[in-house]
Amino acid sequence: MDKQAKMKILAKQFGDMSKNKDMKAFFPDKANPFIWHVSYKGPQDSPFQGGIYHCEINLTNYPERPVTLKLLHDNGSYQNNASLCIVGLTEMGGSWTPGTSVETIISSLSILMNVPEGRHGVGYIVQTNEADIKRHNITSQTFKCSVCGVDHSTMFK
Ligand SMILES: [Zn+2]
């Protein structure tokens, strides 16, 4: 797929995501449309509820091949700044489907923060600790990203 076709797909994904009240995407580098930062709400009915989490998604190989993700601050579920392979996320059924939307990927990332089983992939904290999760939940709500400039204290209000 050429760059122009990819850009068209990503523009649609960005547009779709802008209607979602649980997540918001940013471009940390205006010269690179394939790297997005995304802020998303923590899963409901979990110690992550109320938290706002900030990740980087690398869409260089999207949509043909899996994306990589990394959380950009401590959160108690994923290691800070470690590359996560989306294929390992159980919501995806263990294999990559080229039609998977960026929204679905981010929703899965959120839901799986609170799934204790199968935490063996690179970048996962195997033994999660609820006190840590709750502490990071509070700090996530005022997180400011030094790269894209997002300020969580004014988000989703
Ligand atoms: Zn950012």
Q: What confidence tens digit (pLDDT) does each residue in 29-87 have?
A: 999 999 999 999 999 999 999 999 999 999 999 998 888 899 999 999 999 999 987 66
Instruction: Find the 53 Cα to ligand 1 centroid distance in Å.
Output: 10
- Could you report the per-residue pLDDT of 8-30, keeping only the tens digit for each? 999 999 999 999 999 999 999 99
The CA-CA-CA angle for residues 62, 64, 109, to 5°, reads 50
Domain extents for the chain?
3-150
pTM for the predicted model, two decimal places: 0.93
pLDDT tens, residue by residue, 79-121: 999 998 766 554 555 678 887 899 999 998 998 899 877 666 7
Residue 104 Cα to ligand 1 midpoint, Å, equals 20
The rounded Å distance from CA 81 to ligand 1 centre is: 12
> In the prediction, which pLDDT does 92 show?
54
Nearest one of 66, 87, 85, 61 to 1, comparing CA atoms: 61
Interval between CA 72 and ligand 1 midpoint (Å):
8
Distance 141 CA to ligand 1 centre (A): 14
Q: CATH for 3-150, among 3.10.20.30, 3.10.110.10, 3.90.850.10, 3.20.20.140?
A: 3.10.110.10
